[in-house]
């Protein structure tokens, strides 16, 4: 076990926990379905597999709690068997199997006991012939997407111990020049933005919806001079505009979470990202990609990530960070969350390799959409989720893929 005493929680974790109540109990869970071939194991076999590996993932051994008004992480004695369950589907057509699987994953109530760390593993069967799935679900308070990839690697891979660095190690002094722009970026994320012209009935319906694309080659998505996240965000802007036209005279923005970890680093508990504001451009495909790249170019500046880290965790007082976080998550400042995650290492269970990884992003109260691109072994899937049951969410995968084709067909200039 890592900590025997409570550790202070971050403002982001407090904000995420404060975003209940939800329509479905698992809405704020990040879910990843690992698709495997053959016969599914029983719950006891899976529990025996992950039990000795839990100590490698501190985020699965703590729970969020408040004591005397102070939020913190409490270490827990965790029994793996209490967090594993079977999800049997009645058998569906092969073409609809993944959609049915992920819809049921979103609806299945959490398995973990009351008061325990909020994560579970489902063993799903019946969604496709000769296929089964291990589904790791974890409340967003416990982990962000970057930490989930670390957890998967240690539970179902051969992950090595990750680098752990002190927060201020080499960060504050060399990056003083980046601190003003880092602070300005956080403040910009908290500015109000205009809504999509969503019918009031849709905003008040409150039943979550979900959709996912088919697998795509990562190399097929990439564009010269643009990062994968830039292409993803540009495709989302085009898809969103064709789905529900963006107001031409007012700015609509989304949040793009920036991982604050350095390569190879894994922080123990909670969420470690900065909410970065991206204004959704409209127009022709090449123009949208160009404008998206220009907005995100500053984020790649050397030392900028470290400056954001120090600004959020050391310079900004906790009450101010909490107020900013609540404002950003309220829905008046953020209409969608657009993020990309990559699993770097191959995954397996008892020698059977994971063939595909299917994500489900958490759906946030107040946010119109959550959009997640998850790449694994050179393939990627894009998942869309809505807390407010926005009409036509099922059309977004097709709109996103059409947007990608439009970008590929254009003569896109270098963004570097």
The per-residue pLDDT string of the chain (416 residues; one tens digit each, 9 = 90 and over) reads 444 567 888 888 988 888 765 667 788 899 999 999 999 999 999 999 999 999 989 899 999 888 777 788 999 999 999 999 999 997 666 557 888 898 889 888 999 888 899 999 999 999 988 999 999 999 999 999 989 999 999 999 986 666 665 544 444 454 678 889 999 999 999 998 887 765 454 444 456 678 899 999 999 999 988 999 999 999 999 998 888 777 766 678 899 999 988 777 777 788 989 999 999 998 999 999 999 999 999 898 888 988 998 888 888 998 999 999 988 888 788 888 999 999 989 999 999 999 999 999 888 877 778 899 999 999 999 999 887 667 678 888 999 999 999 999 875 544 44
The residues, any chain, with a CB within 8 Å of residue 56's CB and separated by 6 or more, are: 154, 159, 161
Provide the pLDDT for residue 202.
Answer: 46
Which residues have C-beta within 8 Å of that of residue 201, sequence separation ≥ 6? none
The pLDDT assigned to 164 comes to 62
Q: How many CA atoms lie within 13 A of 215 on its CB side?
A: 12
Number of H helices and E strands in the chain, helices first, is 12, 17
Asked if 135 and 121 count as a contact pair (C-beta separation under 8 A), the reply is yes
pTM: 0.90
Number of other residues whose CB lies within 10 A of the CB of residue 97 = 19
Residue 93's pLDDT is 61
Q: Residue 293 is encoded by which pair of tokens?
A: 């790249």
Rounded-to-integer distance, Cα 384 and Cα 391, Å: 12
What is the model's pLDDT at position 152? 95
- C-alpha–C-alpha distance, residues 396 and 373, integer Å: 13
The angle formed by the CA atoms of residues 60, 46 and 112, to the nearest 5 degrees, is 40
Cβ-proximal residues to 4 (8 Å cutoff; 6+ apart), any chain: 75
Q: From edge to edge, which strands make up the β-sheet containing 62-67?
A: 7-8, 70-75, 62-67
Q: Are the beta carbons of 383 and 372 closer than 8 angstroms?
A: yes
Give the per-residue pLDDT at 389: 64
Dihedral sign of CA atoms 321, 324, 325, 326 in order: positive
Calpha distance 88→104 (Å, rounded): 10
Residue 36 in 3-state DSSP? strand
CA-based end-to-end distance of the chain: 45
- Please, are residues 32 and 374 in contact by the beta-carbon 8 Å criterion? yes
Phi, psi at 29, each rounded to 5°? -90, 135
The Cα-based distances of 1 to 65, 80, 149, 390 in angstroms read: 18, 14, 20, 43
pLDDT given for residue 252 in this prediction: 85
């Amino acid at each position: 076990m890592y900590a025997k005493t409570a550790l202070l929680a971050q403002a982001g974790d407090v904000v995420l926990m404060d975003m209940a109540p939800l329509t479905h109990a698992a809405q704020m869970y990040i879910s990843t379905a690992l698709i495997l071939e053959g016969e599914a194991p029983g719950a006891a076999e899976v529990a025996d597999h992950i039990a000795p590996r839990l100590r490698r993932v501190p985020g699965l051994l703590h729970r969020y709690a408040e004591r005397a008004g102070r939020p913190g992480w409490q270490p827990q004695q965790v029994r793996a068997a209490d967090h594993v369950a079977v999800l049997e589907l009645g058998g569906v057509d092969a073409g609809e199997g993944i959609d049915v699987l992920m819809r049921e994953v979103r609806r299945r109530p959490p398995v973990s006991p009351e008061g325990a760390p909020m994560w579970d593993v489902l063993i799903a069967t019946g969604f496709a012939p000769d296929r089964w799935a291990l589904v790791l679900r974890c409340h967003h308070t416990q982990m962000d997407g970057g930490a989930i990839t670390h957890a998967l690697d240690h539970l179902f891979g051969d992950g090595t111990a990750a680098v752990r660095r002190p927060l201020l190690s080499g960060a504050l002094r060399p990056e003083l020049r980046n601190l003003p722009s880092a602070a300005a970026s956080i403040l910009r994320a908290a500015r109000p933005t205009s809504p999509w012209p969503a019918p009031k009935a849709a905003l008040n319906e409150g039943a979550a919806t979900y959709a996912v694309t088919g697998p795509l080659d990562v190399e097929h998505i990439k564009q010269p001079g643009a990062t994968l996240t830039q292409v993803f965000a540009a495709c989302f802007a085009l898809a969103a505009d064709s789905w529900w036209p963006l107001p031409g005279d007012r700015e609509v923005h989304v949040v793009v979470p920036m991982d604050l970890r350095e390569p190879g680093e894994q922080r123990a508990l909670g969420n470690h990202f900065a909410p970065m504001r991206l204004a959704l451009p409209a127009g022709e495909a090449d123009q949208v990609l160009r404008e998206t790249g220009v907005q995100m170019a500053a984020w790649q500046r050397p030392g900028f990530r470290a400056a954001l880290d120090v600004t959020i965790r050391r310079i900004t007082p906790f009450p101010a960070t909490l107020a900013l976080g609540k404002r950003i998550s309220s829905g008046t400042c953020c209409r969608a969350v657009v993020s990309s995650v990559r699993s770097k290492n191959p995954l397996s269970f008892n020698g059977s390799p994971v063939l595909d990884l299917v994500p489900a992003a958490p759906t946030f109260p107040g946010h119109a959409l959550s959009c997640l691109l998850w790449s694994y072994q050179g393939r990627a899937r894009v998942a869309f989720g809505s807390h407010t049951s926005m009409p036509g969410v099922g059309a977004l995968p097709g709109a996103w893929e059409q947007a990608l084709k439009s970008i590929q067909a254009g003569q896109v200039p270098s963004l570097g």
